[in-house]
Amino acid sequence: MAEFTMELNDEQREVRDWIHGFAADVMRPAAAEWDEREETPWPVIQEAAKIGLYSLDFYAQQFFDPTGLGIPMAMEELFWGDAGIALSIVGTGLAAVGVLANGTEEQIGTWVPQMYGDANDVKVAAFCSSEPDAGSDVASMRTRAVYDEAKDEWVLNGTKTWATNGGIANVHVVVAVVDPELGSKGHASFIIPPNTPGLSQGQKFQKHGIRASHTAEVVLEDVRVPGSCLLGGKEKLDERLARAREKARAGGERVKNAAMATFEASRPAVGAMAVGTARAAYEEALEYAKTREQFGRPIIDNQGVAFQLADMRTQIDAARLLVWRASWMAVTGKPFTSAEGSMSKLFASEVAKKVTAQAVQILGGNGFTREYPVERMHRDAAIYTIFEGTSEIQRLVIARTLSGMPIR
Ligand SMILES: Cc1cc2nc3c(=O)[nH]c(=O)nc-3n(C[C@H](O)[C@H](O)[C@H](O)COP(=O)(O)OP(=O)(O)OC[C@H]3O[C@@H](n4cnc5c(N)ncnc54)[C@H](O)[C@@H]3O)c2cc1C
């Protein structure tokens, strides 16, 4: 009979406690400062690199955890520490995954180490897909990559926006249109090596939350990269485009499903980030409610407060279970027949927004000040329902998957 357990094994517990230690001892004390500075916390990233927490090896180990829980566990602990700093630490992973998923062995070996640098000289990487007119509607992307056959070079032009680490990255991974006829199936990803002429940082955004994470526009003006910078190589691209053209003529369903499966597998990681922030705010609120006295008794003595905390914790645990289910499904190759990955991201991100707002309320006036971390956590939580597909887009995906109808 198949064994069923929801207990983390010894190794997982050890890794979780190790990350938690870093989150509590290094990230938490630095969180308010970097939030105010609205700058990338390089010294904290360097600390993470020194202990091996900021490295490809670490993420690869978690990624290949056969239970699927390695990544969600790591994300929850890091984002429990601080969401802005955590995104600065894991943002490079988004670009690295782009290369790992689509790159050749040579590309992985060449570029991924340059994304991280080393403990003495840390680097970050950026994944640039979103554009001013192509957010939820990825198919309307305009950044164009044209092949210059004579020189075996690709020439990229366009403007990317909202890029985490955009402009300060050592390596940028840029998604661009190679065949405008094919919509999102005519896109390809390119490595833009360090110091490539034509790539510049546009506006750096001043944000509502996760302010320690750098977010900016990336402008590409006649950016020339060697043919070897096309992820996966030209031959594979040509084959893929030919298949996409054929499938588009035959209805396009299978190509669409492959792309959907990738998102279903990556979205639980964002759900886990949201669980981390929600849990952090809940813990602050619980502690506060037990110690703050009004009317001669701790405020948790009132059902109005205690029941809120009960609901907060119940929703956080439910969110984690959805995240863990989807992560387990991804690693064991189960089909996402009900868009379970999107469900986990939708639910966890909405829970984070709600729970952090409740935490502010439970701390009263103190919750409204920057003296207490729930104020920052509440601002940070707002990102989860926006990036990696907004809540509305998750609902669209779930509804389409459940109904098989082209709901708009
Ligand atoms: C801090 C931050 C970091 C980011 N990091 C990156 C990054 O590293 N790389 C990257 O490529 N992108 C990144 N993004 C971009 C992010 O993924 C997009 O912001 C997101 O996909 C939404 O796109 P949009 O902002 O253009 O909103 P829009 O698509 O314009 O949406 C606006 C509103 O309309 C709603 N809406 C749109 N279409 C529909 C529909 N069909 N049905 C119902 N409602 C709809 C949306 O849900 C939303 O509420 C980041 C964004 C932020 C804010």
Question: What's the CA gap between 355 and 281, in Å, rounded?
Answer: 7
Q: For 268-297, what is the mean pLDDT?
A: 98
- What's the rounded Cα separation, in Å, for the pair 315 and 196? 47
Domain locations along the chain: 10-122, 125-250, 255-403
Nearest to 273, CA basis, from 81, 55, 97, 21: 81
Would you state the pLDDT for residue 54?
97
In sign, the C-alpha dihedral spanning 121, 89, 57, 80 is positive
* Banded model confidence at residue 255, pLDDT cuts 50, 70, 90: very low
Q: Is ligand 1 within 6 A of the CB of residue 386?
A: yes
* Residue 258: per-residue pLDDT: 56
Residues in the chain: 408
What pLDDT was estimated at residue 185? 92
pLDDT in tens, 50-98: 999 999 999 999 988 999 999 999 999 999 999 999 999 999 999 999 8
Q: Is the pLDDT of residue 227 over 60?
A: yes
| 136 touches ligand 1 (CB under 6 Å) | yes
| Domain topology for 255-403 | Butyryl-CoA Dehydrogenase, subunit A; domain 3 (1.20.140)
**Model confidence at 37: pLDDT above 50:** yes
Average pLDDT of the residues of the chain: 95
Say if ligand 1 is within 6 A of residue 97 CB. Answer: no
Backbone angles phi, psi at 269, to 5 degrees: -65, -35
Distance CA 194, CA 302 (A): 58
Q: Which atom of ligand 1 is found nearest the CA of 130?
A: 11
Pick from 15-19, 182-186, 296-300, 303-307: least confident: 182-186
Q: Note the CATH architecture for domain 10-122.
A: Orthogonal Bundle (1.10)
- Which of 94, 162, 342, 353 has most ligand 1 atoms within 8 Å of CB, for mutation? 162
User: Would you tell me how many other CB atoms lie within 10 Å of the CB of residue 117?
Assistant: 20
Distance, in Å, from the CA atom of 98 to the CA atom of 195, rounded to the nearest integer, reads 20
The answer to whether the beta carbons of residues 96 and 127 sit under 8 Å apart is no
Is the CB of 273 within 6 Å of ligand 1? no
Atom of ligand 1 nearest to the CA of 213: 1
Angle at which helix 28-37 crosses helix 83-102, to 10 degrees, equals 90
Q: Which residues are catalytic?
A: 388
From the number of C-beta atoms within 10 Å of its C-beta (0-12, 13-18, 19+), residue 2 rates as exposed
Closest C-alpha residue for ligand 1 atom 23: 135
Cα–Cα distance measured from residue 233 to residue 191, given in angstroms and rounded to the nearest whole number: 11
Is 163 near ligand 1, meaning CB less than 6 Å away?
yes
pLDDT digits (tens, 9 = 90+) for 140-183: 999 999 999 999 999 999 999 999 999 999 999 999 999 999 99
Helix axes 42-50, 28-37, angle to 10 degrees: 150
Which pair of structure tokens corresponds to residue 260? 């959907």
| Rounded-to-integer distance, Cα 165 and Cα 235, Å | 30
**Quick check: CB of 390 below 6 Å from ligand 1?**
yes
> What distance in angstroms lies between residue 167's CA and the mean position of ligand 1's atoms?
20
Q: Which fold has domain 125-250?
A: Butyryl-CoA Dehydrogenase, subunit A; domain 2 (2.40.110)
Going by alpha carbons, the residue nearest to atom 19 of ligand 1 is 387
The reply to whether 125-250 shares the fold of 10-122 is no
Output the 3-class SS for 15-53.
HHHHHHHHHHHHHHHHHHHHHHHCCCCHHHHHHHHHCCC
CA distance linking residue 94 with residue 303, whole number of Å: 43
Does ligand 1 come within 6 angstroms of the Cβ of 383? yes
Which DSSP string do the residues of 288-318 spell out, in sequence order?
HHHH-EETTEEGGGSHHHHHHHHHHHHHHHH
Mean pLDDT of the region 286-304:
98
Distance in Å, CA 216 to ligand 1 centroid: 14
The answer, yes or no, to whether residue 350 has pLDDT greater than 80, is yes
Query: Quick one: average pLDDT of 362-391?
Result: 98
Cα–ligand 1 centroid distance for 149 (angstroms)? 35
Residue 230 to residue 219: CA distance in whole angstroms: 18
Spatial separation of the C-alpha atoms in residues 249 and 136, rounded to whole Å? 25
The pTM of this model reads: 0.97
C-alpha to C-alpha distance for 33 and 158, rounded to whole angstroms: 35
With 90 as the cut, is the pLDDT of residue 1 above it?
no
Query: Which residue from 211, 213, 386 has its CB within 8 A of the most atoms of ligand 1, so it is best to mutate?
Result: 386
Q: How many CA within 13 A on the CB side of residue 19?
A: 27
Question: How far is residue 345's CA from residue 335's CA, in Å, rounded to a whole number?
Answer: 17
CA of 385 to the centre of ligand 1 (A): 9
